[in-house]
Amino acid sequence: MNKDHCTITIRDSEAFIENPSEVISISNASAFLKDKTLAIKVSPSEKFTQINLVVNHTKNIPVNFKIKLELLEGSKLILLDESHYNNDSDLEFITVMKKNSCFELYKINRYQNNNTNKFLHDCTLLENCSFKDYSFSNGSKENFSKTIVNLNDINASFLGSGISINDSTHTDNLLEIRHNSKSALSNCYFKTVAKGNSKVNFDGTIFVDNHCSKTTSNQVSKGLLIGDHSKINLVPKLEIYNDDVECSHGAASGQPDKNTLFYLTSRGISKKDAEEIYIEGFLSEFFDTIENLSMLSKAKNFISLNK
């Protein structure tokens, strides 16, 4: 068993925790089943340790739990959730990162068209912390995701990259980045594809407090409309109360370029295949933000299967 990896499996009314790691402390399964809250503490280490979260319900039971995650000073953690959520779900993550800690979160999830799925993450970063957040989703009937990032100390940094591929669903993505200290950095990239009758909303807010000089923050959101009935609403917001900053945002959505599709179909490619090639090219733009090669492979495979 890999001592750098632990696995948390949640199946129906059962929970199983495999934790050979010497730096990860997890509350026991019986306590989790009782209060639906899992407490995780990560101690300092020279290399990344990894937690695999596996949600595998076989019965029609809603998924509802909270994870309280604490990264101690100098700790490094990767958390991977590539579950297929077959039922309604309501998940909450609360993360506190102590000085010089690093956290990478990868959510690569499939949902069902007839379900309601919610995810809330509140993450607080202290001095010299780094948080990288990658999310890949196919949407659901009602899909709500909100992330709040609190950059509370000098040199805290956040990199967020989200991809949503939707077909006849309603998806709301909210991101709130709060610069509460000087010399913090944030970059956010969001891309979505809306097919059929789907409606996708992205609301991204960058807040910079009045004492937060030397702030750097960038946000880019782009949407691709496939079909005549899908809708995308991208709303970037800047709330800046200090002049000594470098902040930017951009938002754009539209349909595939007709000339490109015509070129592809004129070479014998069907319209459906041409659209899928276009979607894959559109979504792959942010792949270079993923340095972990294993996770990059998972992200590419997700897009290939859901485009």
pLDDT tens, residue by residue, 102-122: 999 999 999 998 999 999 999
Tell me the C-alpha distance between 280 and 272, whole Å: 12
Tell me the C-alpha distance between 256 and 107, whole Å: 27
Question: What is the per-residue pLDDT across 228-263, written as a single tens digit (0 to 9) for each?
Answer: 899 999 999 999 999 999 999 899 999 999 999 888
Q: Give exposure, 152-163, as e/b (b: 16+ Cβ within 10 Å).
A: bbebbbbbbbbb
Tell me the C-alpha distance between 259 and 257, whole Å: 6
Judge whether 222 and 251 are in contact, CB under 8 Å: yes
Tell me the C-alpha distance between 213 and 210, whole Å: 8
Tell me the C-alpha distance between 243 and 74, whole Å: 32
Question: For residue 125, is pLDDT > 80?
Answer: yes
Question: What is the per-residue pLDDT across 149-170, written as a single tens digit (0 to 9) for each?
Answer: 999 999 999 999 999 999 878 9
Domain total of the chain = 1
Structure tokens at 99: 């000085």
Domain limits at 72?
5-306
The confidence band for 284, taking pLDDT boundaries of 50, 70 and 90, is: confident
